[in-house]
Chains A and B, each alone.
Chain A
Amino acid sequence: MAENKKFDPQALVEEIESKFELFQILNEEGEIVNEAEMPELSNEELVELMTRMVYTRVLDQRSISLNRQGRLGFYAPTAGQEASQIASHFALEKQDWILPGYRDVPQIIWHGLPLAKAFLFSRGHFAGNQAPEGVNVLSPQIIIGAQYIQAAGVALGLKKRKADAVAVTYTGDGGSSQGDFYEGITFAGAQKSPAIFFIQNNQFAISTPRSVQSVGKTLAQKGIAAGIPSVYVDGMDPLAVYKVTKDARERAVAGEGPTLIETLCYRYGPHTMAGDDPTRYRTTDTDNEWVAKDPLVRFRKFLEAKGLWDEAKEEAVIERAKEEIKEAIKEADKAPKQKVSELINNMHRGDLPYNLKEQLEIYLEKESK
């Protein structure tokens, strides 16, 4: 006979929350703390992952500086999130689709978007959004949550096409409060679509701390509402992020449906370069606590101990990054100024409606002078 127990909903919440333990492979000292989960990565792959993370850190430093010089426009800093962004991307295949948020420019760059185009996106030029053919990325999504429902659609499309591919999307901790966040994971769950949903919990949505978004102990547990597997992972640990993404991808292409992954991380910089001042809402103590968790520091230690990395190698990556960034900015400078006639012509795939036809003529006339 079943035990006659009083139902305690609060105890149930606590029981569920207790199951979401932080998944970690590499600790802050660069030591493997979870040998059993160690992903299969060759030495070359490990070095490549570090190379990309270092490169991305340089890209962030240079982007901030170029923004301050007025040579870039909209920019959302990424320093601190390299493991979360780059290691997750590292587990993807070329045929996978990425639906990035506004802070997720690095992932689409490593997926094939030329750096010069990323800079044009920042400046506000349509050529920055013209992904080359075969590079399956959308431009960074400004409406927080929209990328989630669209990812459910891309994933269903891939499933219907029987493609060996997944749709991957990213939002932040604040974004997990949006309706589209829940609808996206619910649809992908109900349709068993090959999608991987990331919450990069960098602890702040502009000035609003994570605790104001939700009383839940983790954000990963929100996946329970959609009935999909969910993981809470150390987002400063490249190996852990890579491993959970790889596993999610395998499940997805095997037809087992989507996964929600919360990466616990931190952004060292401001929310964006448009006047946000983190000293208003963050303490130096907290910043320092997270600087100690830096994904580059621990991965560097790990690789150095294996004899795979040294200062010279790192210096070479930094120099290469700076050189390529300089070249890309030059190339972006060469992009022709946008014309209204081009904006009109980009509006429709089919014939222009009468109003745009008329306006096209007016602007072509103006532009010919």
Chain B
Amino acid sequence: MAQMTMIQAITDALRCELRDDENVLVFGEDVGVNGGVFRATDGLQKEFGEDRVFDTPLAESGIGGLAIGLSLTGFRPVPEIQFFGFVYEVMDSISGQLARMSYRSGGVYNAPVTIRSPFGGGVHTPEMHSDSLEGLMAQQPGLKVVIPSTPYDAKGLLISSIRDNDPVIFLEHLKLYRSFREEVPEESYTIPLGKADVKREGSDLTIIAYGLMVHESLKAAEELEKEGHSVEVIDLRTIQPLDIETIIASVEKTNRAIVVQEAQKQAGIAANVVAEITERAILSLEAPVLRVAAPDTVYPFPQAEGVWLPTHKDVYETAKKVLTF
């Protein structure tokens, strides 16, 4: 075991997979000798060579096409999109092509591609760096979408994503890269995709969250605990497909739930979680399932992040509404 930040755990997962599978290729803008703009690929080119870890021209769409073509010749590409706000440039390669590879070829071809990309607010990035666009990905049949919130989860989920024989979008929250350390095993391990994690057990209310909002929810849960409320916090970890079993089991126990996301209310995936709960557990509900989400505006100018991004205070307030409904 070693104390690792999330970014170190990600590098470690890439190292494990580059070592264990000669078909794994890591590429993108500045991921080679530079080691990535956040050092996620630090030292990997030196260790595994330019044939395995390499820089590309500055063109996201071309990177997507490269990944598709390499997967057709038997490789297991792990491309990086420098910031997920740039996904619009590569939407066709992801949603129009990669996601459909198995289906359109009737199962003849598949696309074992893992697209890594950072996103998320709270660090005053310039425009189009922090937008939460996971909702777009979650709507595309053929894709799995993974968002870790801890170093331990990040490593196990990334290894599972790379080994998955279908395309996976692996989104890394910028604010979580170095915000805390955690014990992470040095050897390879996997965490199943599509499996949520109960980060805190409770009996009065279920808070369902992902990404940075997991930590805001845990903070809120502590405050609520002080007031005598027992709160369960579920970290979705994979937002598509959802872990229905864990979500419903928790709601059936607590009878009250809220869903917390950093994305705007009209975006993200909170509405989907609410719909699933409504369809499957309405008779268990003592109160409506409410959402914590950002306002439906464009992502804020950096100086406005403080008033715009959802925080533990918003989680606390919404939880109170549901608890006192």
Contacts and interface: CB of A to CB of B under 8 A. Distances in A.
B102 to A, nearest CB: 6
B242 interface: yes
A236 interface: no
A83 B61 CA distance: 31
A256 interface: no
A183 B75 CA distance: 21
A152 B65 contact: yes
A153 interface: yes
Contacts of B104: 126, 129, 139
Contacts of A154: 69-70, 72-73
A350 B106 contact: no
B51 interface: yes
A146 B106 contact: no
Interface in B228-253: 240-245
Interface in A154-182: 154-158, 160-161, 163, 167, 179-180
Contacts of A343: 103
B48 to A, nearest CB: 13
Interface string B67-102: 111111111000000000000000011001100001
B306 interface: no
Given A157-B73, A158-B73, A148 B66 contact: no
B108 interface: yes
A157 B69 contact: yes
A354 B241 contact: yes
A148 B97 CA distance: 13
Contact of A130 (B69, B108, B165): B108
A187 B59 contact: yes
Given A343-B103, A347-B142, A155 B69 contact: yes
B103 A184 contact: no
Given A129-B106, A349-B107, A183 B70 contact: no
A163 to B, nearest CB: 8
B105 A149 contact: no
Contact of A349 (B64, B75, B165, B241): B165
Contacts of A131: 105, 108
Nearest to A133: B108
Of A131, A190, A350, most B-chain CB atoms within 10 Å: A350
Interface residues of B, number: 45
A347 B103 contact: yes
Nearest to B59: A183
A348 B70 CA distance: 18
A69 interface: no
Contact of A156 (B70, B74, B97, B164): B70
Interface of A, secondary structure class, is: helix
B302 to A, nearest CB: 29
A353 B241 contact: yes
B96 A180 contact: no
A157 B61 CA distance: 17
Interface string A120-139: 00000011011100000011
Contact of A157 (B72, B96, B102, B166): B72
Contacts of B61: 149, 179-180, 183
A51 interface: no
A355 interface: yes
B96 A143 contact: yes
A354 B102 contact: no
Contacts of A161: 73-74
Contact of B144 (A138, A153, A353): A353
A237 to B, nearest CB: 30
Contacts of B74: 157, 161
B165 A350 contact: yes
B194 A353 contact: yes
A187 B97 contact: no
B132 interface: no
A355 B241 contact: yes
Given A129-B105, A154-B73, A348 B142 contact: yes
Contacts of A186: 57, 59, 62
Contacts of A179: 61
Contacts of B59: 183, 186-187
A97 interface: yes
B110 interface: yes
B139 interface: no
A343 B104 CA distance: 9
Nearest to B54: A191
Nearest to B111: A349
A150 interface: yes
A115 interface: no
A187 B141 contact: no
B68 to A, nearest CB: 5
Contact of A146 (B56, B65, B243): B65
Given A161-B73, A354-B242, A184 B106 contact: no
A151 interface: yes
Given A157-B69, A187-B62, A348-B166, 17 more contacts: A126-B104, A126-B106, A149-B64, A149-B93, A152-B62, A153-B67, A154-B73, A155-B69, A157-B72, A158-B73, A160-B75, A167-B69, A183-B59, A184-B62, A186-B62, A350-B166, A354-B242
Interface of B: 51, 56-57, 59, 61-62, 64-75, 92-93, 96-97, 102-110, 112, 141-142, 144, 164-166, 194, 240-245
Interface of A: 97, 126-127, 129-131, 138-139, 143, 146, 148-158, 160-161, 163, 167, 179-180, 183-184, 186-187, 190, 343, 345-350, 353-355
11 contacts: A130-B106, A151-B65, A157-B72, A157-B74, A180-B65, A187-B59, A347-B102, A348-B165, A349-B166, A350-B165, A350-B166
Give the 7 A-B CB pairs with smallest separation, nearest first. Answer: A153-B69, A149-B65, A157-B73, A353-B241, A183-B62, A154-B69, A349-B110
